[in-house]
Amino acid sequence: MDPAVSSATLAARYDAIPYDVRPHFLTHPDRLASVATFLGYAAPLPSGCRVLEVGCNDGANVIPMALSLPEATFVGCDLSPTAVAAAKATIAALGLANIELRCEDLATLDPALGDFDYIVAHGVYSWVPPAVREALLALAGRRLTPHGLMFVSYNTLPGGHVRMAAWEMLHHHVDGIADPRARMEAARALARLVAEGGPAQHAADDAMRAELRAIAERTDSQLFHDDLAVPNDPVHFRDFAAAADRHGLAFLAEAELHSMSGAGISAAARQFLSARDPLEREQYLDFVRLRRFRQSLVRRREARPSGRPLAEQLAAMHVSADASLLRAAEAGKLPDLARQLEPAERGGGQVQRLLEELVRRAPGSLPIAELAARVAAGERADSPPALDALLRDAYVGSILNLHVHPPQVATAPSTSPTANRLVRLQAGRQQDLTTQMHTWVRIPDANARRLLTLLDGTRDVAQLANALAPDWHGARAEVATFVGHALVQFGRLGLLAA
């Protein structure tokens, strides 16, 4: 890849084909602080933190954070004037005063902006020239607060080698085509041609054909800004860790802790990994998993986890059901999950009841102190539950989520239901909406989106039905029934604010 790609060239690409940005819950300060706290690392509290997002694009990730943490301060920077202008328009429409967006190069970011508790760089590191990657880590080395954290995602090797081979084919075919949409059309055509080109000559060929089939189905944003991006340089974890070390930074964990576990790999591989030091283990785990993407958290090298007992780390946190737990419940597999988490349990069913309670509360959360009290009240002498171990295993296994600052979500409609300002604004413009959990959901129904625009907390259900009726698409007699049903669904989707 060309290391001399200019900032202007990168900005022009994002202006030519808009990047499809959505909220990424792994980057939210609550998630970052929760992972750190679980590991015994004293990360800054989200409630009043200072956050920088590098490569913020149109603000789809950083703006909802600012709305959810009104006492915190947010800064976003991006090279695209078009994207930054769109973000500023959204900020103005929402009346947010705790966020500032800049069309600025990360390497020259104004020092007057100060230091940051959290720096987010999602979709940046692999997609910029080597000098900019160094500048990104240098920025974190200079501007992170003493216990601050940086989130950085990047394409990795060895799994990235299959993708790189596919990319080389595409670039050979399209690099002479100037028009972005013509490039994408030609890339998809070649990907389909090769993917269905005939029977595999070697077993390894199947992986390449599968990659090309997937490329042919990518969205414009994915294809243009990832598969056809220049630069796009996957790196070994060892090289990323060494680069971080050059700037006084050290690896803390993956934002998805389950990706650091030995789940799903052979006993021989787990035994091999157990003899390695932490950084070496991560590199060999990439080899074993053929990993192609990481979402890493780094800290200042001198700031280390405290080693506090797990019970102390969990005491002030909240817990909620992960999407995987909700899917298991829908499929009737909660008993299987409960047995996995507490295989020694004999007939008491406490673990299953706890999981069922969290499913009932979803997408809301439960204070762990309250959960502990419930467990203690139901404890049996012959089968005492180990709550700390249960939460540890369920969190690392992505069955439960932990929260330092839980989302302010109403799981059922109140007498005057409310959706936050961003949801109401988005519902008048688009189908993809940001939830209270910093995820996104698609609402294709025009009546539902119109109803969401009305949820400013000033109307009860009858008033909502009357307000919706003039724009109703369907029989008028169905309006009231629809409103009641839709509000329940909004609560389940996390679109109602507490």
pLDDT string in tens for the chain (498-residue length): 454 577 778 778 888 888 889 999 999 999 999 999 999 999 999 999 999 999 999 999 999 999 999 999 999 999 999 999 999 999 999 999 999 999 999 988 999 999 999 999 999 999 999 999 999 999 999 999 999 999 999 999 999 999 999 999 999 999 999 999 999 999 999 999 999 988 888 888 999 999 999 999 999 999 999 999 999 999 999 999 999 999 999 999 999 999 999 999 999 999 999 999 999 999 999 999 999 999 999 999 999 888 788 888 898 999 999 999 999 999 999 999 998 887 665 445 788 888 999 999 999 999 999 988 877 776 554 444 578 889 999 999 999 999 999 999 999 999 999 999 999 999 999 999 999 999 999 999 999 999 999 999 999 999 999 999 998 877 777 999 999 999 999 999 999 999
pTM, two decimal places:
0.94
Give the residue from 130, 112, 108, 131 showing the smallest Cα distance to 54. Answer: 108
- Interhelix angle 160-174/205-216, rounded to 10 degrees, is 60
d(CA 184, CA 193): 14
Question: What per-residue confidence (pLDDT) applies to 119?
Answer: 98
Q: CA angle, 399 as apex, 388 and 31 as ends, to 5°?
A: 80
Question: What per-residue confidence (pLDDT) applies to 76?
Answer: 98
| Tokens linked to 222 | 């994915």
Confirm if 96 and 66 have CB atoms less than 8 A apart.
yes
CA distances from 363 to 258, 334, 373 (A): 21, 17, 21
| Tokens linked to 357 | 């309670």
d(CA 118, CA 147): 9
Residue type, 140: A
Question: What per-residue confidence (pLDDT) applies to 43?
Answer: 96
Confirm if 29 and 70 have CB atoms less than 8 A apart.
no
